[in-house]
Amino acid sequence: MSTAIDFDRYDRIRPIRWTGQALELLDQRKLPFVVEYVTCADSDAVAEAIHALTVRGAPAIGIAAAWGVVLASRTVEATDGKDAAAKLEPAMQHLNAARPTAVNLAWALARMRRVLATAGTDWREVLERDVQAIADEDLAANRRMGALGAALIEPGSGVLTHCNTGSLATAGFGTALGVIRAGVAEGRIDQVFAGETRPWLQGARLTVWELQQDGISPTLIADSAASHLMKTGDVQWVIVGADRICANGDTANKIGTYQLAIAARHHGLKFMVVAPSSTVDMDTPSGDAIHIEERDPGELFAVGGVRTAAEEIGAWNPVFDVTPHELIDAIVTERGVIERPDEAAMRAAFGS
């Protein structure tokens, strides 16, 4: 079964806009009730936007950071790219520190350094062209992954997703949500369930809103309802993104992903991870080596600014968890599908 995807219908949202003078970021903290772009005029503003979750999602963070380097380049004078790279290094370090777990951020900044290393006097133009190329490549990769991942799903299936992995988290179309969009377009997916994703509610605020824009009617569930949903038989696949994929196939993703993988295995469901090859980190041997970001415990004390917890209590707020490769049925990148991922399969696909 294969149907051409109408991208005008299924790919409408753009969270990152470059004006030529500034970076405009769709403020994802205010969705779905307010659709508003924040203008970043310098690299510090981009770093703050990344840290504050104005822009979020591993690919989108990488793209935004790369545009942050372009903005920083407006403030330095350099004879060539190598000279510029040295002068831009403080700005790149500041951008890199904004979110430490998502590998795409460091990957994009490393690409900026490589481009500058061989650039001449036109280094500013070279830099800007390459950042646009990163965004274009990400969009093309997402559309490719959508087709590859959807092909694994039997017609008439129900799927569950977690966090937000759509256009809002990427250059467009999305990773895991791109597979879901493609699956719906091809008639393979009949039902889409989205977990709310506490504490920032990316599923409730972002994912269901995105799908609604495409004419897809998702069903929102509490995170704690996932195992019960799986038991009903209404879901055949859990489809998630990743912020880092290790050399052995372990993946880091939004907190709550690990428990979904455990529950999926218990109930006989399939578990798919969808992410661009830029998310693969062959220098990280396993999930044990991943630095897990922890955010302000205060994020757990309230919902929408209304306090729900008692005063003077403690909280633990890790943002990501690691899903062991043994619980993953397929990793989908734009390069292809890795079924039952392990170190040998990862090295065969991505080298050492």
Tokens standing for 110? 């490393």
Whether the CB-CB separation of 176 and 161 falls below 8 Å is answered with yes
* Cα of 146 vs its chain's centroid, Å: 14
Whether the CB-CB separation of 31 and 215 falls below 8 Å is answered with no
The backbone torsions φ and ψ at residue 324, rounded to the nearest 5 degrees and listed phi first, read: -65, 145
Tokens standing for 92? 């790149």
> Among residues 11, 27, 214, 243, which one is catalytic?
243
Reduced DSSP (H G I as helix, E B as strand, rest coil) percent helix, strand, coil of the chain, to 5: 45, 20, 40
124 vs 63, 72, 74, 80, CA distance in Å?
17, 10, 8, 9
Tokens standing for 137? 């490549």
Phi-psi region of 351 (alpha: psi -120 to 50; beta: other; left: phi over 0): left
Q: Is 321 a catalytic residue?
A: no
As beta bridge partners, residue 294 has 318
Q: How many CB atoms lie within 10 A of CB 37?
A: 15
SS3 call for 331 = strand
The backbone torsions φ and ψ at residue 110, rounded to the nearest 5 degrees and listed phi first, read: -65, -35
- Please provide the DSSP assignment of 252-318 as one string: EEETTHHHHHHHHHHHT-EEEEE--GGGEETTS-SGGGPPPPB--GGGGSEETTEE-S-SS-----B
- Supply the residues annotated as catalytic: 243
